[in-house]
Structure 1
C-alpha cells in the first residue's frame, strides 16, 4: 500500500500531497504514525487530510505487539493466578479510561515529551487523546484481561435457564452501542472521551466474549455466517486501502457519488491485495516456494526483485525528499502584479476627543462602511520610506505577508509575524454549524510571538490581520457560547487588547485592519472547508465594530484601518479566486488591492 500510493502520488498527486508524504512516510514505515500526527500539531479533522492519515491505528496496534510480549513475560514471572492477573489488567484498563476522561475535562495535555527531539513539545490535546498509544490502550488491555479471565471453551454443559438468551441480548446491546458510537461520536467532542470511547471499548469486549461462547447460539450464527466471515478475513485490506482511495477520489468531502465511487474501487483493490499478497504470505506459499526453488532461478529472481525494490523505494525517497518540507497553499508565484506607490485612500479624520491627529478617527483611518465624523486634517509629517511594518495575526495575515506585490519594497518593508490557525486566543474552540472545530490550545503565547516578530523586523507599525477565526460560536469549558454574546465579545476584545499591550510595550504602533467580507470556497489545498460563518457579512461587520471599539480605547497607540470595500460591494471581485485563492486568503492581486487601499493610512500613523 505504501509503495502503490507513493507511485500514484508521484505521478498524479498534488504538491501538497508530496509535502505530506515527505512527513508521513518515515512515521508510517516505522509504525509511529499516531505520534507523527500528535507532534505535527495539526488537528485530526483540520486541514487537507493526508493519504496516510489512517495509519495511526495500525501504529497503535504494532506498538502493542512490541510492548505486550515483554509485559506478558513480566507478569507471568510471579505466582499470581491467571484470574488475579486478569483483574489487575481490568483495573489498569479502567484507569486509562478514567484518566482519559479526566484529561478531556481539563483540556489536557497541552505539552508532551517528544522522545525524537528529547524535549517537551506543545500538542493539541484532542489529537493526543484520540491518537496516542497511551489513551487508546484501554481496549487492548481489556482484551488481554479477557484472555486471562474468559475461557468459554472449557464449558461442556448445556445452557442453564435463560443463559443463551442473556448472551444473545448482550450481543445485541453491544452492537447497538457500537453503531451509536459510529454515528454519534466526534473526535473533538468531550463526550467522546468521557463516555463514548469507554462504552465502545466495553461493548467490543462484550461482543467478542459472547460470540466465542458456545451457549450464544444466535450471536454465533450471525457472526459465523459466510458473508460475515469473508468480510472479516478481508477487513484489514478494506481498512488499509479504503482511506487512500477515498482521499484520491475526494470522497471525504461529503459527496455521495464520490463516496460510492471510492467504495466500488476499494473492493477489487483490497480483494487483489487479499488474494495475491495477504493469503500467500499467511498460508506459507512463499515459504514453500523458497524451499522448492531451483538454484539457477534464485539468483535471477532475487536479483530482479531486489533491484526493482531498491530502485522503486529509492526513487520515492528521492522524489518526496525533494518536496517542500511544508506546503504553503497561500503562496502565489505569479509575476506582473505591481504595487502602485501613488495609491491613495481617504484622508484623516477625528479622534474620540474631537482633536485631529494623523491617522485616527476614534482610532479609524480610511473609508469604511460605517459613518465617521471628519474634520480638516492636521498637517502630517511625511513618513520615512520605506516604513517598517510587521504583519501579525492568523492565516489571512500569513497570505498577505507571503504574497507581496512587486515594487512594494520602496514603500514598505514587510515582516511576517503571522501564526496560522491562531487569532487572539490561548484556549477555547471555534465551532461551526457544519461540525468543523478549531482548538486554540496550541496558540498559547501568541502575543509574545507577535512582539518577538515585531522586534525582529524592527517594526514601526504592526498590522493586525485577524477575523477568519473570530466569526464563530465558541466552546468554553465544555459549553458552546453563541457568537455576538457578551462572553464571546469580551473574550475577543480582551484578546485584541492583550496583543496591543504586548506590541505597545516595545514601542510599536498598532494598526487593526478591517476584516473584509469573505466568500469562502471549497478548493484543493484549503486547510479549512468553506464555512458559512465566514460568508456571513453581519458577523464580519460585528467583529469590525469590536475592533473599532478597541482602537477607540487606545487612541495613542492603535488605529483602525479601513480595508478595501470591493470585497463587500463588488461580487465579481469578492468571488474572484484570483484575488483570494479560497475566497478568504489573498493572492498577489488581493494583496495589491489591500496594500494600495491602506497605504496612505499606514503612512499617516505617527511613529517614534
Structure 2
C-alpha cells in the first residue's frame, strides 16, 4: 500500500480525508469494545466501514466498465483475495494458537469456541452461525462477522452490478442499490423481531454497503445539487455521534439492542453515507477535512484493516493488566497500532505489490489498496 487512493467521482483521485474517516471508524470500534463510556453504540464504526466499502468497490467497478465496457471478474476476485486473505490467515493462526495453549492449561470455554469457529471464519460465513445456531459463541472471532458480510458482498455484487450495467448502466445500478438499501432498512424497522444475533445477517447489514454503492453510481452520473452542502455534513456527523453515544449495539441488553437495530442503525447508516458524500465531493467543512487529513489519521486509516483484525486479541491480553476502560483502551490502541503496522509492512504490503499483475487501471488499483475487509464487525460492534 505504497499509495492509498480512494475514489470519489471517477477520475477525482485520492481523497485523504476518507482515510481519516476510516481511522475514526476503527477507533470508535476499539473504544466500544474496551467499554469506554460514551461508546456503547460503537457498531456505528462498522457502518462507516460498510458505506466506504460499497462506495469504493462500486467506484472501481464503474470506472472499469466505463473505460472498457467490460469487467474482469478474475482480476477483481484475485485482488480481493490478495488484499484480504494473507493478513486474515496470520491473525487467525495466531488467535488459534493462543486458544490452543489456553486449552492445554484450563478448560477455557472461550478458547474452545474460538477453535470451533475456525472453519466458518476462514470460509467467511461466521456471521450466519449464531443466527442459525442461536447461542453459539464465536470466541475471539466474534468481531469477524463484518468481514464475512463484506466478503459475501464482494462475491455477489460484481456479478449483479455487471448484469444491471448491461441493462441500464450506472442509472440502473443507482436504482437497484437504492431499492435494496430501502428493503434492508424496512426489514430492520418494521419486520425484525429483535432476537439473537440477527444484526450480523448479510441481509440485515446490506443497507450500508448498498448505500455506498448508490452513492458511487450517483456521483458517476450527476453533479449533486448545491443544497447538499456543509449543513448536511454537520447534521450527519451529529447523528453519528448520537448513535454512538446514546445507542447500545451489544446484545447484553435485549431492549437496547433492539432499539439500536430499529432506530440508531438506520440513522447511523444514512448519516455515514452523507459524511462520505461530503468528503468525496469536497463539500465537507474545511475544519473537519483538516482534522481527518492529519498525517496520523491518514496513517491509521491505511492500517485500519489490520487494526480491526488484531484489536480483540490485543484487548483480551490487556484485560490481564487492567480493568480500567480508559487505560484498557489506551493500551489496546497503542499495541494494536504497533501490531497492525508490522502486519501492514511485513504481510499486507508485499501481497499488495503482487496484486498489481491483476490490474489494468493503476489508479483503480491504488484505490483498491485502501479497502477494509472489513471492514469494517453478531453481537459486538
Q: Determine if the alignment matches structure 1 residue 72 to structure 2 residue 161.
A: yes
Q: Determine if the alignment matches structure 1 residue 17 to structure 2 residue 110.
A: yes
Of 176, 189, 201, 1:88 maps to: 176
2: CA distance, partners of 1:169 / 1:232: 25
How far off its partner does 1:31 sit? Answer: 0.8
How far off its partner does 1:200 sit? Answer: 0.9
How far off its partner does 1:250 sit? Answer: 3.1
Q: Secondary structure at the match of 1:85?
A: helix
Residue matched to 1:527: none
**Contact map agreement 2:99 2:115 (CA 8 A) in 1:** no
Matches within 5 A, 1:135-284: 135-151=204-220, 167-187=229-249, 188=254, 189=256, 190-216=258-284, 218=286, 219-250=288-319, 255-256=324-325, 257-284=327-354
1: CA distance, partners of 2:145 / 2:201: 9
Distance 1:286 1:245, change over 3 A: farther
**Contact map agreement 1:246 1:252 (CA 8 A) in 2:** no
Distance 1:85 1:9, change over 3 A: closer
2: CA distance, partners of 1:285 / 1:75: 27
How far off its partner does 1:215 sit? Answer: 4.3
**Contact map agreement 1:212 1:220 (CA 8 A) in 2:** no
1: CA distance, partners of 2:240 / 2:172: 29
1: CA distance, partners of 2:206 / 2:322: 30
Residue matched to 1:602: none
**Contact map agreement 1:167 1:216 (CA 8 A) in 2:** yes
Q: Secondary structure at the match of 1:149?
A: helix
Q: Secondary structure at the match of 1:31?
A: coil
1: CA distance, partners of 2:222 / 2:303: 26
Q: Secondary structure at the match of 2:205?
A: coil
Matches within 5 A, 1:335-374: none
Residue matched to 2:127: 34
Residue matched to 1:442: none
Distance 1:36 1:251, change over 3 A: farther
Deviations 1:453-499 (CA, angstroms, capped at 9, x unpaired): xxxxxxxxxxxxxxxxxxxxxxxxxxxxxxxxxxxxxxxxxxxxxxx
Structure 1: gaps spanning 5 or more residues: 109-124, 288-437, 439-608
How far off its partner does 1:231 sit? Answer: 1.4
Distance 1:227 1:134, change over 3 A: same
Matches within 5 A, 1:547-566: none
Residue matched to 1:126: 196
**Contact map agreement 1:234 1:271 (CA 8 A) in 2:** yes
2: CA distance, partners of 1:211 / 1:251: 40
Distance 1:151 1:210, change over 3 A: farther
Q: Secondary structure at the match of 2:343?
A: helix
TM-score normalised by the chain length of structure 1: 0.39
Distance 1:82 1:258, change over 3 A: closer
**Contact map agreement 2:102 2:111 (CA 8 A) in 1:** no
Deviations 1:121-148 (CA, angstroms, capped at 9, x unpaired): xxxx2311x1101110111111111121
Distance 1:191 1:252, change over 3 A: farther
Q: Which protein has greater RCO, CA pairs closer than 8 Å, 6+ apart?
A: 2
Aligned length: 257
Matches within 5 A, 1:356-435: none
Q: Secondary structure at the match of 2:313?
A: helix
1: CA distance, partners of 2:271 / 2:244: 13
2: CA distance, partners of 1:84 / 1:37: 35
1: CA distance, partners of 2:333 / 2:188: 34
Distance 1:170 1:254, change over 3 A: farther
Deviations 1:162-208 (CA, angstroms, capped at 9, x unpaired): x6xx6233222222222222222223332212221111111111111
Distance 1:167 1:279, change over 3 A: farther
1: CA distance, partners of 2:191 / 2:185: 10
Q: Determine if the alignment matches structure 1 residue 57 to structure 2 residue 146.
A: yes
Q: Secondary structure at the match of 1:32?
A: coil
Distance 1:181 1:68, change over 3 A: same
Greater radius of gyration (CA): 1
1: CA distance, partners of 2:290 / 2:222: 17
1: CA distance, partners of 2:143 / 2:321: 13
How far off its partner does 1:239 sit? Answer: 1.0
2: CA distance, partners of 1:37 / 1:133: 13
How far off its partner does 1:154 sit? Answer: 6.6
CA RMSD of aligned residues (A): 3.0
2: CA distance, partners of 1:12 / 1:277: 26
TM-score normalised by the chain length of structure 2: 0.60
Residue matched to 1:118: none
Of 54, 73, 94, 1:4 maps to: 94
How far off its partner does 1:280 sit? Answer: 1.9
Residue matched to 1:386: none
